[in-house]
């Protein structure tokens, strides 16, 4: 009987976080094996093809402050370009659709004052939260018991202000405001700098840049730089056993032994692996209380970007749904016009698992409401139902339900013996973003390398 392969480090998950972990460890001379359940690399980044153009069906935007992601793009020869924003934006609140310019939304004066007051309070509270230890904030216990919905009801006093904040929460966290802890939101805001940074496109906004040819190429380049034989696809991990001398990993293609293990996947996904008695009770609790967001991403192609001709930027925010927010996704130099949009929160759960034609019809109805009859004549449509993906269970990232951070949040990054954790959820900056995934992989690699020296 052949003895199982043995390596210094096994990494579970070939998303950006896992691949960055493996790359960093391999460069330090450690033997590494990456196990990936899918038949591809990239995790929650994914490439697709629409009318002959490469498109991102997963994570795609990079902000000017996301220095790690931008540095990797430069190192890999990937060019970034700015998100198209020329023209007027559209906002639909309480059934009323209006266009506007700049950053001031077209709601009542009272609504604007209410929203500005709420944003100021949210950002001020976030500044007191350390993303590395949000449970240590002075008001952590109160904030963790409160849902974002409860905070909105107590803080915002206008219908327009509440509806706008509800749309923002769906867009950022892919869940309904009553599902997520206020402390979880504050931690995410703190890790990005401000809520405005998270939602904006220009300046320091997290949606400022896109990668020519697709952000999914970042993972592909990371994989190409691994030593030959490092990556094993179609190898879902079923069980992990830990001893004083190492870790045994049982997967779809056999068995592997390693001195240390890095799990680079969302907690909800890690919960599907049998760890025996290897994990702390806090870690087990965390994995059962940190669900994935609910999201379906879609792109629609037209013969030309007709909305630009009408003076629209392509940006739409709507509290009506089901399809929105929307942005221009036209590839540079293309004569065709592309729009990208999302079914998020409850809207996505209603359409998850159904035939793609039903989601297409829902998207078309929304787009016609936003842009008129020309939106009814697409030449192509493609989407990705992340909720129904068995190796993702949703996106963009896992979020903390009320009461989770203060009871078991400390287990998010804490090693369990020889088992370490990576993934965008564990980032200290840009939680849930590609940049956060990269930094989490670097942190995990540093942890393991320090213990392997």
For every one of its 453 residues, what pLDDT tens digit does the chain have, with 9 covering 90 and above? 466 789 999 999 999 999 999 999 999 999 999 999 999 999 999 999 999 999 999 999 999 999 999 999 999 999 999 999 999 999 888 788 888 887 767 767 787 788 889 999 999 999 999 999 999 999 999 999 999 999 999 999 988 889 889 999 999 999 999 999 999 999 999 999 999 999 899 889 999 999 999 999 999 999 999 999 999 999 999 999 999 999 999 999 999 999 999 999 999 999 999 999 999 999 999 999 999 999 999 999 999 999 999 999 999 999 888 999 999 999 998 999 999 999 999 999 999 999 999 999 999 999 999 999 999 999 999 999 999 999 999 999 999 999 999 999 999 999 999 999 999 999 999 999 999 999 999 999 999 999 986
**Nearest 10 degrees: CA dihedral of 57, 63, 67, 73?**
40
Domain of 348 in residue numbering reads as 47-85+206-212+295-385
Whether residues 227 and 376 fall in one domain: no
Question: What total number of domains does the chain contain?
Answer: 3
One domain, residues 119 and 164: yes
Residues 175 and 113 in one domain: yes
Q: 21 with 148, same domain? A: no
Domain-embedded: residue 277: yes
CB atoms closer than 10 angstroms to residue 189: 24
- Structural domain ending residue among the three candidates 343, 359, 385: 385
CA–CA dist 425, 414 (Å, integer):
13
pTM for the model: 0.96
Same domain, 112 and 185: yes
pLDDT of residue 452: 86
Same domain, 194 and 111: yes
Residues 404, 274 within the same domain: yes
Residue 391 lies in a domain: no
Are 367 and 339 in contact by the 8 Å Cβ rule? The answer is yes
Residues 6+ apart with CB under 8 A from 452: 8, 9, 30, 259, 260
- Token digits for 5? 């392969």
Q: How many CA atoms lie within 13 A of 433 on its CB side?
A: 30
Residue 133 falls inside a structural domain: yes
Q: Can you tell me which residue has the tokens 């009814």?
A: 376
**Whether residue 34 is found in the same domain as residue 171:** no
CB atoms under 10 Å from CB of 408, counted, come to 22
Tell which of 385, 414, 438 closes a domain. Answer: 385
Tell whether 253 and 377 lie within a shared domain: no
Dihedrals φ, ψ of 371, to 5°?
-115, 0
Instruction: Please report whether residue 97 resides in a domain.
Output: no
DSSP β-bridge partners for residue 297? 342, 384
Residue at 76 is within a domain: yes
Give the domain-ending residue among 385, 415, 431.
385
Domain annotation covers residue 11: yes
Instruction: For residue 237, give the nearest of 219, 213, 225, 254 by alpha carbon.
Output: 254
The CATH number covering residue 337 comes to 3.90.660.10
Residues 335 and 299 in one domain: yes
Residue 95 included in any domain: no
pLDDT for 161: 87
**Chain centroid offset of residue 245 CA:** 35
263 part of a folded domain: yes
Are the CB atoms for 52 and 198 separated by under 8 Å? no
318 and 302 together in one domain: yes
pLDDT value for 115: 85
Which of 177, 100, 122 has the alpha carbon at shortest distance from 344? 177
pLDDT, position 50? 97
Nearest Cα residue to 428 out of 412, 417, 407, 415:
412
Residues 325, 277 share a domain: no
- Return the pLDDT at 2: 63
């Amino acid at each position: 009987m052949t003895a199982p392969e043995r390596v210094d480090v096994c990494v579970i998950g070939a998303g950006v976080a896992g691949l960055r972990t493996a790359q960093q460890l391999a460069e330090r001379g450690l033997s590494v094996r990456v196990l990936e359940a899918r038949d591809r690399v990239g995790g929650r980044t994914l490439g697709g093809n629409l009318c002959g153009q490469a498109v991102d069906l997963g994570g795609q935007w990079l902000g000017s402050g996301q220095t790690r992601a931008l540095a990797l793009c430069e190192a890999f020869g990937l060019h970034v370009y700015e998100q198209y924003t020329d023209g007027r934006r559209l906002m639909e609140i309480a059934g009323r659709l209006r266009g506007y310019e700049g950053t001031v939304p077209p709601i009542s004066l009272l609504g604007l004052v209410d929203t500005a007051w709420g944003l100021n309070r949210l950002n001020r509270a976030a500044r007191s939260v350390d993303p590395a230890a949000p449970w240590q904030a002075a008001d952590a216990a109160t904030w963790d018991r409160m849902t974002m919905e409860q905070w909105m009801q107590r803080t915002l006093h206008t219908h327009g202000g509440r509806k706008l904040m509800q749309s923002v929460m769906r867009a950022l966290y892919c869940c309904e405001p009553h599902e997520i802890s206020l402390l979880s939101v504050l931690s995410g805001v703190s890790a990005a700098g401000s809520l405005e940074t998270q939602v904006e496109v220009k300046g320091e906004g997290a949606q400022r840049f896109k990668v020519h040819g697709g952000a999914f190429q970042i993972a592909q380049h990371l994989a190409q730089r691994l030593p030959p034989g490092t990556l094993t696809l179609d190898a879902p991990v079923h069980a992990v056993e830990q001893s004083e001398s190492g870790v045994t990993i049982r997967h779809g293609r056999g068995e592997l032994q390693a001195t240390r293990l890095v799990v680079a996947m969302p907690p909800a996904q890690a919960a599907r692996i049998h760890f025996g008695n290897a994990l702390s009770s806090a870690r087990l609790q965390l994995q059962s209380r940190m669900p994935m967001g609910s999201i379906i991403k879609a792109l629609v192609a037209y013969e030309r970007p007709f909305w630009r001709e009408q003076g629209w930027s392509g940006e739409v925010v709507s509290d009506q749904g089901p399809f929105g927010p929307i942005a221009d996704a036209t590839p540079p130099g293309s004569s065709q016009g592309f729009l990208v949009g999302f079914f998020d929160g409850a809207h996505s759960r209603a359409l998850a698992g159904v035939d793609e034609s039903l989601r297409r019809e829902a998207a078309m109805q929304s787009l016609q409401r936003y842009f008129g009859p020309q939106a009814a004549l697409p030449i192509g449509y493609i989407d990705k139902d992340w909720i129904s993906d068995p190796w993702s269970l949703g996106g963009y990232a896992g979020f903390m339900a009320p009461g989770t951070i203060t009871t078991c949040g400390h287990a998010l990054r804490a090693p369990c013996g020889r088992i370490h954790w990576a993934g965008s959820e564990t980032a200290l900056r840009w939680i849930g973003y590609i940049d956060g995934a990269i930094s989490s992989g670097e942190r995990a690699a540093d942890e393991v390398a320090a213990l392997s020296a």
